[in-house]
Amino acid sequence: MQTITLPLDTMTLGATLAGHPGRPPLLLLHGWPHCRQLYDPVMDALGDQAFVIALDLPEIGESRGPPPSCDKATLAETAITAAERLGARRPVVAGIDVGGMIAFAAARFHGERIAGAMVMNTAVPGLDPWDKVIANPAIWHFAFHQLPGLPEALVQGRQRAYFDYFIDALSLRKQAIDDRMRQRFAEAYQRPEALRAGFEWYRCMPDDAKRNRECVPFDTPLAYVRGDADPSDLREYLAGLRAGGAVHPTGSLIPGSGEFLPLENPSAFVDTVLAFVQRVHAASR
């Protein structure tokens, strides 16, 4: 693996690279409250068959400088441009949690620039079962994080305790997210600008939902993947993606895992991602 920083407009983005640039490109996006180190355990294995780029989203971790907007289409454009600057033309964009929302936006709004997208462990704003998800009392933080200023005031300086709550709630195998990784996540949001950026992802979700509901068909290959600890019906998510314009979405479950797929079941994560990368790049030749 190689770690770099990439100047991009008014931003500087932290990135980890693995694999040879001549291999099929794969862009990995983290969500909340993660950073790009979420993918460290799988980078080398993915790099055996792909050119892999894991980014810190703007202001998170080693990235500095706010993006033009935190709506998911803009974040997708930023991430794809970063990958292109690193020599990754038409990458597969794969993201977990908020990163999955960005991956959907990449397929929906920037499909001509990518080979395919993987939406992992998230509901896409505006698409079924989005309304059901945000109405669930267990998902209370979606509304809380959208409040102006209050989350920052209460969480600043308490990131580790706050994030540990969500890590424990969203993982099936809590021990797979060890103390070092938990501390890395907390440190990635230690700066006030980083914490604010993470909450801004949530504050933009109502606008994301409005745009996603304007169904425009797109044929960019799209896969929906999540850990099998979530008992929700996978078919409901696929129906929502089709209603949002995805022509042929596919779906699969990763066994023995909650949200933290690369940490909880790294071998199955690698197999699932590489199978999709190989399929879409073979089809595009």
State yes or no: pLDDT of 283 exceeds 80: no
- In the DSSP assignment, the letter for residue 138 is G
Structure tokens at 231: 């008992």
Phi, psi of 122 (to 5 degrees): -160, 160
How much is the pLDDT for 285? Answer: 65
How much is the pLDDT for 103? Answer: 98
- The rounded Cα 241 to chain-centroid distance in angstroms is 16
**CA triple 32-35-41, angle to 5 deg:** 120
Whether the predicted model's global pTM rises above the 0.85 cut: yes
Structure tokens at 113: 């620039």
pLDDT band at residue 78 using 50, 70 and 90 as cut-offs: very high
Q: Stretch 211-218: mean pLDDT, rounded?
A: 94
Residues whose CB falls within 8 Å of the CB of residue 41, separated by 6 or more in sequence, listed in order: 262, 263, 266
**CA triple 194-141-12, angle to 5 deg:** 15
Mean pLDDT of the chain: 97
Q: What tens digit of pLDDT does each residue of 114-147 get?
A: 999 999 999 999 999 999 999 999 999 999 999 9
Secondary structure of residue 245 in the 3-state scheme? coil
